[in-house]
Amino acid sequence: MVAFAARDFPKTVGLRDGATVTVRPLASTDTVKLWDFFSALPEPDRYFMKDDVLDPATTARWTSKIDHDRALALVAVSDDAIVADGVLLKQADPARRHLAEVRVNITPGFQGKGLGTVLIRELAEIAWEADVEVLGFELVEGVQDAAIEAVRGLGAFHVGTLQGYLRDPNGEPRSLVLYQIPLGSWFKF
């Protein structure tokens, strides 16, 4: 299994509104900044995450045990604060080593400016260089609709919907939609 390699970072990236951010890999010194970032996200954005990001032990673990064989996190920084993160998670078992999951979170003030697209493109490039063949996205219908549109705009295709698979804070069913971007040999064209 090829490790993820974060080359050519940090990068200064321009957004649609003219603002700039610095995109770089998550660092061991980012523990407090990462917790501050997740704390600044609205509760609806955090509710469906797979980890308890408000537990300081979670962000401490992620910044102290950086393992590019398994995962690579990129952060976007503005005014010394993390305003977005994108994570590429490689599957470890032999049957799924060709797959990687992508997760992206963006603070409200930076949403709708193309930052998610920038992070996904950077992560796709890194995945392709690590011999990943398919990027997968799990998104909550009716909650993460802007993210669904963003991945579709990047060429992701819908591979399934798990109807009522999740429950929102009010106990109402929410559907989990699955999208994939195949990388393959044509990715660089």
pLDDT one-digit tens code per residue, 122-164: 999 999 888 899 999 999 999 999 999 999 999 999 999 999 9
- Mark the ranges of the chain whose per-residue pLDDT is less than 70: 1-3, 6, 185-189
**Going by C-beta distance under 8 Å and a sequence separation of 6 or more, which residues neighbour residue 61?**
none
Residue whose pair of structure tokens reads 């992560």 in the numeric block: 123
Q: Which amino acid is at 3?
A: A
* Closest to 132 (Cα-Cα) out of 183, 68, 180: 183
The CB-side HSE value for 67 (13 A sphere, CA atoms) comes to: 10
Q: How far apart are CA 84 and CA 77, in angstroms?
A: 7
Whether the model clears a pTM of 0.95, i.e. scores above it, the answer is no
Question: Which pLDDT score is estimated for 189?
Answer: 45
